[in-house]
């Protein structure tokens, strides 16, 4: 790597190119080709997420990519929020279509008409679905690989409930899922915020979103979960026959983990000056075997490596690197790619029936008997994730500050991270104060921390009115 991780922006650009994670040269603006090294990991991430959703009784559906304009415009706020970003299909099979079709930017308006058919009685509730798919949004900001593009890969869950209480419970379950998967299994720290009223998902009553910090101290939004306005269930007639024999409207929720974006957070949280670092289970290549061949004994070394490969590749994503490059070049390469375990095999190892094993996360290297290898790999596999997670947690927690004046806010924001401030209100009237913070410091008010009561003291640092909320401000990706 030419750039250290402290020069984060350059580091990120360099690693996505050098490790062949994606190719930005595709000739539709904002569209990226994702390459095997990242896709292998993202497929694992999808699988971990889907398992967790299914454990919580979500069922998979596959929804159409195209949504008729008339569906799309049924709920006023939703259409206002998304229409500026839509790709429209207007022609097909040589004919102009009677109605424009939107390439889904999100699927509420596709699935809700189905919900109205699927939900009849209370026995059909709760209805919990998920859809692993791509969505398309005509972003105007610059493309950043995995972080922002016009096509992204995500999971969207769509649920319907008999009451708002059930919907609230779902939102909490979504947060727990986020914790179990993104923090628990991917090792990425975040804070869940209730977003201010002026910064909600278009058509939502409440939006809760997870924000992580990138190494430069700017935030990246991870999944958000929403309690949608009853206008949706009215517009799409999602209702059920209640005990009194009356039609009652459902409450709906949605939740959207964007796998490609979480991947950006993953490589940014764990990477270092040498390149990528991955939890063992997520690595594209888990074990690299590097033969070290001197003038003599090359064949014996290679055949020893092949035997190892045959054994290990049954269980792990393993590569035997028999290319013509020097061992030193190969070590750097596999380190840059974030391969968790590297085995180095030379004449000495063959002679003694040993293996030299190097860990990517700690850099530790030791030579062990072949008979110990299986156990050693299992041990390293277990150890990596907790270590990466605790490193990432420490870095994250060291970047949470507090300020009690605008001046202090500006000062603290310079070093990046979250700055906690007393703030007038999360209701609509607070927007003017948030705007001022944005203008002055290019920072956003992310909302108040969910699930943790923070004591409100003093006055809003912008307007001076009595503070009704503690909010977090930060610069955003």
**Closest distance of CB 67 from a second copy, Å:** 8
For a second copy, give the closer residue by CB, 85 or 383. 85
Q: Using alpha carbons, list the distances in angstroms from residue 470 to 170, 217, 427, 456.
A: 25, 20, 13, 6
For a second copy, give the closer residue by CB, 109 or 207. 109
DSSP letter for each residue of 102-170: EEPSSSHHHHHHHHHHH--BGGG-SEEEEEEEEEE----SPPBTTTB-SEEEEEEEEEEESSHHHHHHH
For a second copy, give the closer residue by CB, 24 or 370. 24
* 97 vs 90: CA distance, rounded Å: 5
For a second copy, give the closer residue by CB, 39 or 400. 39
**Closest distance of CB 97 from a second copy, Å:** 9
Query: What count of residues does the chain have?
Result: 477
**Closest distance of CB 308 from a second copy, Å:** 19
3-state secondary structure of 53: helix
* 153 vs 145: CA distance, rounded Å: 12
* 426 vs 406: CA distance, rounded Å: 18
Strands 418-423 and 400-402: parallel
Torsion of CA 465, 468, 469, 470, to 10 degrees: 60
**Closest distance of CB 114 from a second copy, Å:** 6
**Closest distance of CB 13 from a second copy, Å:** 18
For a second copy, give the closer residue by CB, 317 or 391. 317
**Closest distance of CB 393 from a second copy, Å:** 30
* 215 vs 396: CA distance, rounded Å: 9
For a second copy, give the closer residue by CB, 110 or 377. 110
- Residue numbers of the site for a second copy (CB under 8 A)? 23, 25-28, 31-36, 39-40, 42-43, 59-68, 71, 83-94, 100-101, 103, 110-111, 113-114, 117-118, 129, 134, 136, 138, 140, 151, 153
For a second copy, give the closer residue by CB, 36 or 76. 36
Phi, psi (deg, nearest 5) at residue 413: -65, -25
Determine the straight-line distance between the first and last CA of the chain, rounded to whole angstroms.
23
């Amino acid at each position: 790597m030419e750039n250290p991780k402290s020069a984060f922006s350059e580091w990120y650009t360099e690693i996505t190119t050098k490790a062949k994670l994606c190719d930005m040269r595709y000739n539709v603006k904002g569209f990226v080709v994702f390459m095997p090294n990242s896709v292998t990991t993202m497929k694992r991430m999808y699988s971990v997420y889907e398992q967790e959703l299914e454990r919580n009784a979500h069922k998979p559906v596959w929804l159409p990519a195209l949504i008729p304009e008339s569906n799309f415009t049924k709920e006023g706020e939703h259409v206002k929020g998304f229409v500026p970003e839509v790709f429209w299909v207007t022609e097909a099979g040589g004919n102009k279509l009677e109605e424009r079709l939107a390439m889904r930017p999100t699927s509420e308006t596709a699935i809700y008409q189905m919900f109205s058919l699927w939900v009849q009685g209370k026995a059909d509730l709760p209805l919990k679905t998920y859809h692993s798919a791509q969505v398309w949004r005509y972003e105007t900001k610059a493309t950043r690989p995995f972080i922002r593009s016009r096509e992204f890969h995500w999971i969207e869950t769509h649920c319907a409930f008999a009451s708002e209480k059930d919907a609230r419970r779902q939102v909490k379950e979504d947060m727990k899922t986020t914790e179990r998967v993104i923090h628990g299994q991917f090792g990425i720290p975040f804070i869940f915020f209730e977003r201010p009223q002026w910064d909600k998902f278009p058509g939502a009553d409440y939006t809760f979103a997870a924000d992580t910090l990138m190494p430069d101290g700017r935030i990246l939004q991870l999944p958000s979960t929403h309690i949608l306005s009853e206008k949706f269930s009215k517009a799409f007639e999602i209702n059920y026959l209640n005990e009194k024999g009356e039609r009652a409207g459902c409450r709906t929720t949605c939740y959207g983990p964007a796998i490609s974006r979480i991947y950006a957070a993953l490589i940014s949280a764990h990477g270092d000056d040498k390149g990528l670092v991955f939890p063992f289970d997520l690595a594209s290549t888990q074990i690299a075997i590097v033969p070290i061949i001197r003038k003599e004994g090359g064949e014996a070394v290679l055949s020893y490596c092949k035997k190892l490969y045959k054994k290990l590749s049954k269980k792990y994503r393993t590569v035997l690197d028999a290319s013509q490059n020097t061992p030193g070049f190969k070590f750097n390469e596999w380190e840059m790619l974030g391969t968790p375990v590297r085995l180095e095999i030379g004449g000495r190892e063959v002679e003694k029936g040993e293996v030299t094993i190097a860990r990517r996360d700690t850099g530790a290297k030791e030579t062990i008997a072949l008979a110990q290898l299986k156990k050693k790999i299992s041990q390293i596999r277990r150890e990596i994730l907790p270590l990466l997670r605790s490193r990432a947690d420490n870095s994250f927690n060291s970047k949470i500050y507090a300020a009690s004046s605008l001046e202090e806010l500006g000062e603290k924001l310079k070093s990046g991270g979250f700055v906690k401030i007393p703030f007038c209100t999360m209701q609509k009237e607070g927007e003017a104060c948030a705007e001022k913070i944005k203008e002055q410091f290019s920072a956003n008010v992310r909302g108040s921390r969910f699930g943790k009561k923070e004591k409100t003291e003093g006055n809003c640092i912008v307007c001076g009115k009595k503070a009704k909320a503690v909010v977090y401000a930060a610069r955003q990706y």
